Amino acid sequence: MAYYHRLGNIPPKRHTQFRQPDGSLYKEELVSSKGFSGIYSNLYHIHNPNNVLSIGEPTPYNWEPAKEYGLKQTHLKTAGVQTTGKDYLSARKILMMNSDCMMGICAPEERKMDHFFKNADGDELIYVHDGEGVLYSQFGKLEVRQGDYIVIPRTTIYRFEWKEEGPLRLLIIESHGPIETVKRYRNEVGQLLEHSPYCERDIRPPGALHTEKEKGEFLVKIKKGGMLHPYTYGHSPLDIVGWDGYLYPYALSIHDFEPITGRIHQPPPVHQTFQAWGFVICSFVPRLFDYHPLAIPAPYNHSNIDSDEVLYYAEGEFMSRKGIDRGSFTIHTGGLPHGPHPGTVEKSIGAKETEELAVMLDTFKPLFVTTEGLNFVDPAYPMSWKE
């Protein structure tokens, strides 16, 4: 994420004296990636960020692939799910996974977290399917709403507060590696190119600091190695008076993604929005269909030979699918062809536009349905192409 940002008060030079009103030093913290070779930010604390009061017993926080699930096209029906758990962490249900990423849903009953969370296992991409609220982190306050992708770098300490009224539903993707803007849409110094489907104006970093100065007992639950480790600190982790750098959480609305269209059907890479180790994320948004006089708007049949493809259906009606609802997942695996359902190709001819919204995950290693995901499997889906 080659985009410099700063908030609050910082000294003129890094790693130099920066004193509080009482004459004591602010405590500088470097948050860096790839050791000291990747993007980073410098933060300035009122208190020592290592002030640990107690460490609780770790508890398991992981998911397992379903055994002997077999090779089959899959539909996970989650449309009818109202809530998936009491709080934010217990409500995170991972439905599919491999060694590079995990994907699932989160619909918590509670709208306000009474603790902080830090994911030390990977970056997170959260798509706000329903809801509106605020992400508080040591980098400041980030207001989020329906349709937002929220990119949260590994080890960010955060909590959510969601508005009480209305539904709340999140799509969760956890990545073993960094989640980044698309390399082919960046120039040699990292700026998004003129023909990129979104630009820096569309990216929303934290807009203001949220500094919590008080001391006390503050719980941070840290995910590491498939366990939750409870750490209690003697002050809030949001005791930041200023920071600057390139590493921080940010939001990008799917509604700000500008689709690339053509005379004939465009392949999914034109919809790519993010990249990571071992997978990509694409956004299908309202757009005009192909305008060749003989164009077929419905996608052609496709055989993935080295990737698995997941579509999460957010809004609208996909003209190539039958029996798919808002909140459905389809998983089309490498080794099997997939394509439009019978009758949908002819029906699509002459259509001028679509109002669909969907998030796509394409992985380059096999993706496995989890034991949790088995609860949502549509057993009829593999045979749904039958004439």
Known binding-site residues for homogentisate equal: 338
Binding site, annotated residues? 302, 308, 338
Q: Which residues of 42-64 are buried (b: 16+ CB within 10 A; e: fewer)?
A: bbbbbbebeeeeeeeebeebebe
- CA dihedral 82→60→359→149, nearest 10 degrees, is 90
Q: In whole angstroms, give the CA distance from residue 138 to residue 239.
A: 7
3-state secondary structure of 307: coil
SS (H, E, C) 159-220: EEEECCCCCCEEEEEEECCCCECCHHHECCCCCECCCCCCCHHHEECCCECCCCCCEEEEEE
Q: In whole angstroms, give the CA distance from residue 324 to residue 25.
A: 58
Binding site, annotated residues for Fe cation? 302, 308, 338
Q: Minimal CA–CA distance to 314: which of 75, 150, 146, 143?
A: 146
Q: In whole angstroms, give the CA distance from residue 362 to residue 307.
A: 7
Please identify every residue annotated as catalytic: 265
Q: In whole angstroms, give the CA distance from residue 33 to residue 223.
A: 17
